[in-house]
Amino acid sequence: LANLHHQAIPGYLDYFDRATATDRYFFLVQELVVGKSLATLVENRWRADEAQVQDIAEQILHVLDYLHQQAPPVIHRDIKPQNIIRDENGRVYLVDFGAVQDVYRTTLIEGGTFVGTVGYMPPEQFRGEAVAASDLYGLGATVLFLLTHRSPTDLPKKRMKLDFRDRVHVSPTFAQWLETMLEPAIEDRFESAPEALAFLLGKRNPQRDRIWQYESPKFKGSRVVVQKTAKQLEIEIPPATLRSAIAFLNPTRIFILLFWSTFFISAGMAFPCISFWLACLSCIAYRASGRVRLKIDRHTFRCQWQWLCFSKRVEKHPTQITWVKVIGDDNPACGFGTDDRPYYYCFGSRLTSIEQEWIVTEISTFLRRVPKVDRIHGTSG
């Protein structure tokens, strides 16, 4: 929270804890926002029109976009009327970050803590999972509360989805936006705050096949390219620069290389010396030419390693990927395991730790969006 700086997020001031005979309580201290929560406003019989509700949604989407763009991305996990404050000028603020989760702390398959508020939580959050689209569901439920003055838990459902059309009087376009925000399945919901915002502002139509492609924000100095659509994720890790490849020869390796070269030459053993140097040059060439490409969609998980004229490829069904995480301590890399092999595959050892965490999160988040029907009936690709 101390690292968040946004005009709609009250600034972090301090934290403290208090112990009692039976428990220990932790408190966050934030700047005071003068205004009332949306829950209090509705309790006081405030009725917002469609334009006002859209304005609130637009402001919160900008905040969510900011949070989800952080490194690591920040998922609020408790978007609800009580946590949105509106001042007299119509500006809104997002508060209560006690349930925040940074998504780098969870990887595919691993569970999480049940955090959130019933009625404003999407189905995946009940399973301990939370992605950027989870916050969108909470915002959609909050908008529905503003329009109906009723908690989402009090509204009827049809096939696990809130059935609200006959209870609100809004334009068809706004109703369609709200329908998409409240989709129970992650893959049917807006994928991100920018996509939801674009449609809200009249630039997108979710009825079409959402081929909304973008390059994920790069970290400063990163050469990794990440491109996503609603149905496909592509990641390319280019070769290291020549300077970075040569950096492989750190002082320790240079000392070892010179020591053994001197030993072999003094012993009249030229062949081992040449072999030793060729091995080092091969490592530099590998780092300078090695490229990794990943392509993932609903039916295929493909990882390809390329070095000069050599290539290796692993292709599985997404449901066969059992975990994705950063592995190793001395020489960390991105890794993934499959259900048909006792060993794992790794890539990206030359990347920075933040780049590795970023890539792992992108892959894990995308794999969570594979429709359940594919998870059940998927076969090896």
Q: How far is CA 53 from CA 136, 177, 291, in A?
A: 15, 12, 48
Residue 290 phi, psi dihedral angles, 5° rounding:
-70, 130
Q: Which amino acid is at 131?
A: V
3-state SS of 22-38 is CCEEEEEEECCCCCEEH
Question: What is the distance of C-alpha 11 from the center of its chain?
Answer: 24
Annotated catalytic residue 78: yes
Separation between Cα atoms, residue 84 and residue 35, nearest integer Å: 10
Identify which of 93, 40, 30, 33 has the alpha carbon closest to the alpha carbon of residue 62: 93
Residues in the chain: 381
**One-character DSSP codes across 214-239:** EEPPPPTT---EEEE-SSEEEEEEPP
Catalytic hit among 55, 78, 154, 374: 78
- Catalytically annotated residues: 78
